[in-house]
């Protein structure tokens, strides 16, 4: 194709973003998505740096992808300091492309392309470039894109969940299709539970509570992401952003916040950015189900087509998803020694633990 590539920490300019407008529309997304991604670039950490891979044809930009470069991934692989500290000491630059959907973790993106017809071919060329120029890269992608990943070491990953709301007159239609939801709605309300929807920036006092929910969730989680050192600051950035495209659906108990889901409303869809609960509480009294229902109700009211909930990592979410798309993680390295060692470490790591893999279609 006569392509050349560049990888830098410079985010896409407004002029570059316009190049991808037609592709975004075809994917059911609009320019509001560009409110989201700068949040990661503004709050990067010493060890986690977002990058843009650009691809040019005859000096014309035809594609781009947002990646993360992480230099301390030991804690993600192993809980034991005896194992994770040596990995961190090596400071191996690991590239991560969360290629599934738009928005989850504030960085997930399938790539951006000038010509939708050539998108698949261009994506394959981008992956080929990364494969030959990276000491370690992990690409999380839909299994339906397996043909993009030649010669990769393949690992299972959790499914991607979503619910179509097109044609629904009310959220009651969804509730009627799921047993026990009415009981869980009553239980939540009887315990003093309420749901509040905030468009744009939450109040300052609430921002800190929401960050506290994230911190509590991370401490209790059985997964430590390679970019976790930056993630609380990135979430904080999204909560400070006054974009009307950002929708925060907040669960309260007797008026006190104890959980939330945050979305970006873009094009014909609502796409989750992040969410958390105060996991220090003994019970959330079915707040999770009620947050999902509130997001569906909001989307129906906005006449949207679909709500994307991102990776499915718990049983409640799995049960409530109408669509679950199988995903996988594809690993590459241009160094045969690193390729063997990292593939072995990853296969034995927390990122492949049984609790997480229970939500993978494999």
Check which CATH number belongs to the domain holding 64 and give it.
3.40.630
Could you give the CA distance from residue 104 to residue 86 in angstroms, rounded to a whole number? 30
Give burial (CB, 10 Å; 0-12/13-18/19+) of 16: middle
User: Are residues 118 and 24 part of one domain?
Assistant: yes
User: Are residues 310 and 171 part of one domain?
Assistant: yes
68 contacts 96 by C-beta, under 8 angstroms:
yes
Could you give the CA distance from residue 351 to residue 362 in angstroms, rounded to a whole number? 14
pLDDT (0 to 100) of residue 70: 94
pLDDT (0 to 100) of residue 351: 87
User: Are residues 100 and 77 part of one domain?
Assistant: yes
User: Are residues 311 and 189 part of one domain?
Assistant: yes
Does an H or E element contain 63, and which? strand 60-70
Per-residue DSSP letters for 304-347? -SEEEEEE--SHHHHHH-SEEEEEEEEEE-SSHHHHHHHHHHHH
pLDDT (0 to 100) of residue 285: 80
User: Are residues 168 and 56 part of one domain?
Assistant: no
Provide the residue range defining the domain that includes 30.
3-160+325-357
- Residue 71 in domain: yes
pLDDT (0 to 100) of residue 176: 95
243 contacts 35 by C-beta, under 8 angstroms:
yes
Check which CATH number belongs to the domain holding 277 and give it.
3.40.630.30
- Per-10-residue mean pLDDT of the chain, 362 residues long, equals 92 98 95 96 95 96 97 84 79 94 96 94 96 95 94 94 97 93 94 95 94 88 88 96 96 91 96 88 82 98 97 93 96 92 87 87 74
304 contacts 269 by C-beta, under 8 angstroms:
yes
Residue 202, both tokens: 């939450």
CA nearest neighbour of 51 among 116, 143, 137, 146? 137
Per DSSP, the three-state class of 276 is strand
pLDDT (0 to 100) of residue 87: 79
- Domains in the chain, number: 2
φ, ψ of residue 301 to 5 degrees: the values are -65, -30
User: Are residues 226 and 78 part of one domain?
Assistant: no
- Say whether pTM exceeds 0.75: yes
pLDDT (0 to 100) of residue 362: 67
């Amino acid at each position: 194709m006569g392509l050349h590539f560049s990888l830098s920490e410079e985010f896409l300019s407004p002029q570059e973003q316009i190049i991808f407008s037609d592709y975004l529309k075809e994917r059911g997304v609009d320019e509001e998505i560009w409110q989201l991604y700068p949040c990661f670039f503004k709050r990067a950490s010493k060890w986690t740096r977002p990058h843009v891979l650009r691809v040019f044809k005859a000096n014309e930009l035809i594609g781009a992808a947002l990646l993360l470069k992480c230099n301390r991934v030991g804690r993600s692989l192993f809980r034991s300091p005896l194992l994770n500290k040596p990995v961190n000491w090596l400071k191996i630059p690991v590239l991560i492309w969360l290629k599934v959907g738009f928005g989850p973790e504030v960085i997930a993106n399938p790539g951006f392309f000038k010509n939708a017809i050539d998108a698949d071919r261009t994506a394959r060329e981008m992956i080929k470039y990364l494969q030959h120029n990276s000491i370690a890269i992990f690409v999380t992608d839909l299994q339906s894109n397996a043909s993009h990943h030649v010669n990769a070491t393949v690992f299972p990953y959790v499914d991607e969940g979503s619910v179509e709301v097109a044609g629904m007159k009310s959220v009651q239609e969804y509730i009627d299709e799921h047993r026990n939801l009415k009981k869980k709605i009553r239980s939540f309300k009887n315990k003093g539970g309420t749901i509040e929807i905030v468009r744009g920036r939450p109040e300052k006092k609430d921002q800190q509570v929401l960050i506290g929910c994230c911190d509590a969730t991370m401490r209790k989680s059985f997964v430590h992401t390679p970019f976790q050192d930056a993630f609380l600051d990135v979430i904080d950035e999204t909560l400070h952003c006054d974009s009307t495209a950002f929708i925060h659906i907040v669960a309260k108990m007797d008026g006190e916040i104890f959980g939330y889901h945050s979305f970006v409303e873009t094009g014909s869809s609502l796409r989750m950015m992040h969410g958390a609960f105060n996991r220090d509480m003994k019970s959330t009294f079915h707040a999770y189900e009620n947050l999902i229902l509130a997001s569906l109700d909001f989307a129906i009211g906005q006449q949207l087509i679909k709500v994307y909930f991102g990776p499915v990592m718990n049983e409640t979410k799995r049960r409530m998803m109408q669509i679950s798309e199988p995903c996988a993680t594809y690993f590459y390295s241009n160094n045969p020694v690193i390729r063997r060692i990292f593939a072995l470490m990853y296969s034995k790591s927390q990122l492949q633990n049984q609790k997480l893999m229970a939500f993978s279609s494999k």
